[in-house]
Amino acid sequence: MTFTPLEAVTLVFVLGCALTAALLRDVLAAIIASAAYSLGIAILWIVLQAPDVALTEAAVGAGVMTLLLLLTIAKTVRPENENEFERPNLRSLVVVVAFAGVLLATVPALPAIGAADSPVAGGEVTQYYLENAYEETEVSNAVTAVLAAYRGFDTLGEAVVVFTAGVAVLLVLRREVFV
Amino acid sequence: MSALTVTSGIVLAAAGGSSGPANLTPFLTDVLLGTAAAFVTLAIVVLYRVIKGPTMQDRVIAVNVIGSNTVVILAFLAAAFGEPGFLDVALVYALLNFLMSIAISKFTVERGGVI
C-alpha cells in the first residue's frame, strides 16, 4: 500500500488533530482541535473523489458538531491549575490500541481503491446503478443518486430519527425551543 | 458527467499523482498536488499552536488559519483533478470557517476567565 505525499501528510495532520483532541485537558481546546480534524478529513474525502461526503463533513463535522459541543459545555467551568494534557489511563490505552489493531488487521482484506475486480464494482446492483442512475434520477454523481434517490426512504428514516431525538430532548428539558 | 466517468475518476485518482484532467499536463497536475501537500504540511506546523496554546485565542486563530489553509488546498485539488464542482466544498468551508471562529470567540467571551 503506497501513499502519495499529499495523502501521507494529510493522514499525519488528521492523526495529530485526533490525538490533540483526545489528550487536551481543556474541553474547549479539544473542541477546537476536533474542528481542525474535520478540516483534514474533508481534504481526504476530496482526494478520494467524494465531494458530497466532503460537503456533509463540512456541514456536520465542522459546523453542527462544533456548535452542539459548544452549547453542551456552555454551563461548564474551566479546570484551573491543572495539567494541560490528560494522563491516559494505561488499561484503557491498551484496550483502545488493541481495538485499533483489530480494525487495522481487516484493512488488507479490502480491495484496492478503484480495483476493477472488487466485488462492489463488478456486482450486478452496481452495474444497474451505473447504467441507469442518470436516466432515472438525472443526478450526475452516481453515489449521490444512490443516497438521495434510490435510498430516499432510508434517508427519510434517518431524518425521522434525528427529528425524534430533537423532540425528545426538548421534552426532557421542558423547553419549547433550542438555544 | 456520466456515472461511468465518476468511476474512472476514482480509478485514475488511485493510480497516483500524474492523473489529471486532459487540459493539464501531468507535470502541472503534480505541481498542484505537491503544492497542496506543502500547504497541509504548513497546517501541521500551525497545529503546534493549537496544541500549545497557551490561551484560547491562540487556538481559535490557529484553527482559523488551518481553515483558510484547507480552503486553499481544496481549491488546488479542484484544479488538479479538473473538477470545478469540488470548489463548492471550498466555498462551504470558507463560510463555516468564519462562523466557527465567531461561535468559539463568542463562547469564550461569555464563559469568561479566559482573556
Q: Which has the minimum average pLDDT: A21-25, A116-120, B89-93, B103-107?
A: A116-120
Is A12's CB within 8 Å of B44's CB?
yes
pLDDT of residue B16: 42
Cell of A25: 485537558
- A62 and B51: CB-CB below 8 Å? no
Mutate to test the interface with B, among A27, A38, A49 (most CBs of B within 10 A): A49
Average pLDDT estimate for A114-133: 77
Q: How confident is the model at residue A78 (pLDDT cuts 50, 70, 90)?
A: low
Q: Are A14 and A48 in contact (CB under 8 A)?
A: no
Reduce the DSSP state of residue A83 to 3 states and report it. coil
pLDDT at A94: 93
Nearest CA in chain B to A127: B4
The percent of residues in chain A predicted with pLDDT above 90, rounded, is 11
pLDDT value at A176 more than 80: no
Centre a 10 Å sphere on the Cβ of residue B88 and count the other Cβ atoms it contains: 17
* Residues near A41 by beta carbon (within 8 Å), at least 6 away in sequence: A14, A57, A61
Q: Using the structure block, give the residue that is written with the C-alpha cell 484496492.
A: A112
Looking at the DSSP assignment, which residues form a beta bridge with residue A85?
A24
The pLDDT score that the predictor gives to residue B21 is 60
Task: Give the burial class of A67: count Cβ atoms within 10 A of its Cβ; 0-12 exposed, 13-18 middle, 19 or more buried.
Answer: middle
Residue A131 pLDDT: 83
pLDDT classification of B12: cutoffs 50, 70, 90:
very low
Residue B113: predicted pLDDT:
52
What residues form DSSP beta bridges with A24?
A85
| Residue B81 and residue B48 in contact, taking contact as beta carbons nearer than 8 Å | no
Interface membership of A14 toward B (CB under 8 Å): no
Q: Which of B3, B96, B114 sits opposite A142 (nearest CB)?
A: B3
Contact A78 B113 (CB under 8 A): yes
Question: Hey, are the CB atoms on B104 and A66 less than 8 Å from each other?
Answer: yes
**Is residue B66 a contact partner of residue B46, using CB atoms and an 8 Å limit?**
yes
Under the banding of pLDDT at 50, 70 and 90, the label for residue A23 is confident
Q: Judge if ipTM > 0.90.
A: no
Return the pLDDT at A77: 66
Looking at chain B, the whole-number percentage of residues with pLDDT higher than 70 is 76
Residue B114 pLDDT greater than 60, yes or no: no
Mutate one of A4, A15, A56, A85 to test the B interface: name it (highest B CB count within 10 A). A4
Task: Please provide the average confidence, as pLDDT, over all residues in chain A.
Answer: 82
Distances (CA, A) of B46 to A28, A66, A136, B50: 18, 20, 47, 7
Provide mean pLDDT across the span B32-55. 86
Q: For residue B15, name the pLDDT band (cuts at 50, 70, 90).
A: very low
Candidate from A40-49, A106-115, A117-126, B14-23 with smallest mean pLDDT: B14-23
Q: What is the 3-state secondary structure (H, E, C) of B56-96?
A: HHHHHHHHHHHHHHHHHHHHHHHHHHCCCCHHHHHHHHHHH
Interfacial B residues in 81-110 facing A (CB < 8 Å): 81, 83, 85-86, 88-89, 92-93, 96-97, 99-100, 103-104, 107-108, 110
Is B101 within 8 Å of B63 (Cβ atoms)? yes
Residue B73 contacts A where some CB pair is shorter than 8 Å = yes
Residue with cell 497541509: B40
Residue A119 has pLDDT above 80, yes or no: no
What is chain B's mean pLDDT, rounded?
A: 75
pLDDT band at A101 (very low <50, low <70, confident <90, very high): very high
- The predicted structure's pLDDT at residue A95: 94
